[in-house]
Amino acid sequence: MPDSVSHDQNFKNLILDYPRQALAFFAPSEAQDIDDSVRITPIRQEQLKNRLGDRFHELDVPLLVEWPDGRREALLFIVEEESDPARFSIHRLAIYCASLAETCKTDRVVPVVIFMRGSPRIRKRLVLGSEHRAYLRLDYLACILDELPAEDFRSSDNIVARLNLPNMAYPRQAIVDVCAWTLRGLLELEPDLEKRLKYMDFIDIYSRLDDNEKQTFAERYPQEKQTMMTWSERMRSEGMQKGMQLGRLEGLEEGLQQGELAVLTRLLIRRFGPLDAATSERLQKAGSAELEQWADNILDARTLDEVFGCK
C-alpha cells in the first residue's frame, strides 16, 4: 500500500462518521450495551494537545460514551490505528491512557487498537513490577483486520465492517467479489450521497484493484459499476452547479460593493472637493459595511474626518 495513504486520517474519518458502528465492530465485547439511547461524544484532540503533548497520538480518536438514564457510568474509549505493527508501543499507549484518564477525570477507560495486519511482535499486555508484585498492568482490545475472514462479514448490517472487507482475510483472487460486497454495503447502509462518494474513495484505496481486476469488476458487476459512475457524475455536476452559484453570488456582491464605492466617492467630492490619495486608497480598501456606514455619516458630517468617524 502506498506510503502516501494516511491510514490514521482515513480511520479517524470512519470512526467520527460512524462512532456507534465503529465501537460495535472494533470493540464488540465492550459495546454490547451501547444502544440507540447512548450518547457518544468525540473528544476533540485540539482540547487535549497542550496537556498530552504526544505527537504520536495526534490522530487518535477518544470517544466518551454516556448512558443518559444513568444505568452505567460513562466509558472513555481510546481508539488508535496502527498500519505498521512495528510502530506500536504498548508503553506509549499506557502513558496516553493514563494522561487522558487524568484529563477527563475518569478511571473507566477502554483502550482499542486497530491493526491493519498482524505480527508476532505485537505486545498484547504490559505488566510493570518486580518478582514480588505487579504494580501496573495494561490490557487492551486488539482488532487485527487481516485476521478477520471477509466471508463472515459480507452481509453485515454494520457499515464499518462492510467498508473494511477489503482489509480483511480472503484469497487475492476474490478481491473483485469482496469489492462488490463492500460497495453493496455502502449502497444499502448509507443513504447520504456525499458520504457514499467519500467512502467509495475508501473502498478504492483499500481494494487496490489493478487494471485487469477493474475490467473483471465491470464485466461481473455491471450494475455496481454503473452505480459508481452515476454517483461520480452526479457529484461532479452538483459541484459545478455550486461553483457557478457561488461565482454568481460573489460577482453580484462585488458589483454591489463597486456601486456603493462609486456613489460614495461622488458624494464626497461634491461635498468636500477633490479627494487626496490617502482617502481614495482608504475607500478602495473598504468593505461593504464600512462604505454603508460612511454613506450614512455623510448626511450629518461637517468635515471629511467626521465621515470616517474621526472627531
Looking at residue 243, what is its pLDDT? Answer: 52
For residues 86 and 54, is the Cβ–Cβ distance under 8 A? no
Looking at residue 133, what is its pLDDT? Answer: 95
Distance CA(41)–CA(11), nearest Å, equals: 17
Looking at residue 245, what is its pLDDT? Answer: 55
Region 230-250: what's the mean pLDDT?
A: 55
Name the one residue in this structure whose C-alpha cell is 499506557. 94
Phi, psi of 80 (to 5 degrees): -125, 140
Q: Is pLDDT of 75 > 60?
A: yes
pTM above 0.75, yes or no: no
**Of 84-93, 101-110, 167-176, 217-226, highest mean pLDDT:** 167-176
250-259 burial, b if ≥16 CB within 10 A, otherwise e?
Answer: eeeeeeeeee
Q: Is pLDDT of 64 > 60?
A: yes
Question: Where residue 107 falls among pLDDT bands split at 50, 70, 90?
Answer: very high
Name the one residue in this structure whose C-alpha cell is 477493474. 214
Looking at residue 183, what is its pLDDT? Answer: 94
Pairwise pLDDT comparison (229 vs 109), residue with the higher score: 109
Query: Going by DSSP bridges, is the β-strand pair 141-144/134-139 parallel, antiparallel, or unpaired?
Result: unpaired
Region 226-232: what's the mean pLDDT?
A: 70
Q: Is pLDDT of 144 > 80?
A: yes
Domain boundaries, the chain: 1-147, 236-307
Pairwise pLDDT comparison (311 vs 190), residue with the higher score: 190
Looking at residue 157, what is its pLDDT? Answer: 96
